[in-house]
Amino acid sequence: MRDGAWKTAKRLIVRTGKSLGILLLALVAGAAVYEHVSAWRDGRVLKQVGRSVDIGGRTLNIYFTGGGAPTVVFVSGATAPGYVWMPTERGVAAFTHACWYDRADIGWSQPGPDPEWGDAAARDLHRLVQNAGLGPPLVLVGHSFGGSIIRLYNAAYRGEVAGMVFVDTALEDAGTIRGMPHKDPPRLPRSVIVGLSTVLGRLGMIRFMASDPGPPPKHWTAAEWDVLARLRRQRNVLLADAKVGPGRATDDLVRSAGGLEDMPMIVLTQGRPIAEPSSVEAGVRRGWVALQREFAQRSRRGRQVMVLDSGHGIPIEAPDAVIAAVRELVTELRTASHPNPRLLPPRTVPQR
């Protein structure tokens, strides 16, 4: 009797296991098909904005417009496409040469090496600047993780950068702020992390995680907002995030990067009011604002500007603040008592 019951239970377990295995395979196959079809649909809409420039065996996408000098280069946050700067560049191009680009594994750029820490991104940017024929003097504008990249660029390539705008920039000591959220890297080999990110990307994980973008904000057309939303849910975003990692390695690099002592620079900091002044979020904000102010003081020519109508996403929420900061630096550089002869008056150049 007991043997019969055991055999029946065993058969039930085997059948259940097979059914679950079939269900799992069906779910995986369905997710892969969903991602493939969605990517195909996006591909019909996402025609390349910009052009591909070879930086040594692989290409990065860059879009530039406007004319004159200095050239302004916009550098995005960790996994943000360069397209996030579209309204900002439109404003800056009215008075000087401006460009944004996609870092490796993002937007229309090809994959890069692993890891893709800030120093690797700075080297990529330097090759891009050279091969795209941009040349100094440059005004670099970096948002979030992009702020670390432009600091490392300035430290490595002295004399090329004439001014800097930091847009709610990442800072190496942000972890010292009480209550500041942070993520610890999984204790897995990097090859496993990158492999899992690739697989999950092909299964459409980034699409499942993406939220409804809602209506376009001020300064964004409906068509531009749709393109940005599609770029943000591409499968390569997960891979780009895995290659950047939690940021500690880049923090260590920027901690020793100097060269800001006499740099004309503006530090834009999020300042949208928080409803509950006694909340943990409000405490973190106060610590963040103070840390950004201290960072601005590293240059005798630096200052902090609070962006009161924006959170961290200033390039999307408040492009006018970035445009105003860039205009201030460009004007200062052009009217300095000993002007750089390369700071030419603006001329109109068609969009490319």
Q: For 120-161, how does the pLDDT look when each residue is reduced to its tens digit (9 = 90+)?
A: 999 999 999 999 999 899 999 999 999 999 999 999 999 999
Written as six digits, the tokens of 1 are: 């009797």
Instruction: Say what the pLDDT of residue 12 is.
Output: 63
> What type of residue sits at position 255?
R
Q: What is the phi/psi pair of residue 345, to 5°?
A: -65, 155
Residues 234, 222: Cα–Cα separation, whole Å: 19
DSSP class of 326: H
- Of the candidates 116, 257, 265, 252, the one whose C-alpha atom is nearest the C-alpha of residue 194 is 116
Which helix (H) or strand (E) element contains residue 315? helix 314-317
Written as six digits, the tokens of 203 are: 């299964």
Winning range, highest mean pLDDT, from 143-147, 177-181, 230-234, 342-346: 143-147
What confidence category does residue 4 fall into, taking pLDDT thresholds of 50, 70 and 90? Answer: low
Query: Is the per-residue pLDDT at 340 higher than 60?
Result: no
211-231 burial, b at 16+ Cβ within 10 Å, e below that, comes to eeeeebeebbeeebbebbbbb
In this prediction the pTM is: 0.83
Q: In this predicted model, which residue has the larger pLDDT, 103 or 15?
A: 103
DSSP 240-285: HHHHHTTSHHHHHHHHT----TT--EEEEEE-PPPS-TTSHHHHHH
Written as six digits, the tokens of 346 are: 């603006």
Average pLDDT over residues 6-25: 61
What confidence category does residue 278 fall into, taking pLDDT thresholds of 50, 70 and 90? Answer: confident
CA distance to 128, 131, 244, 291, per residue, from 248 (Å): 25, 30, 10, 17
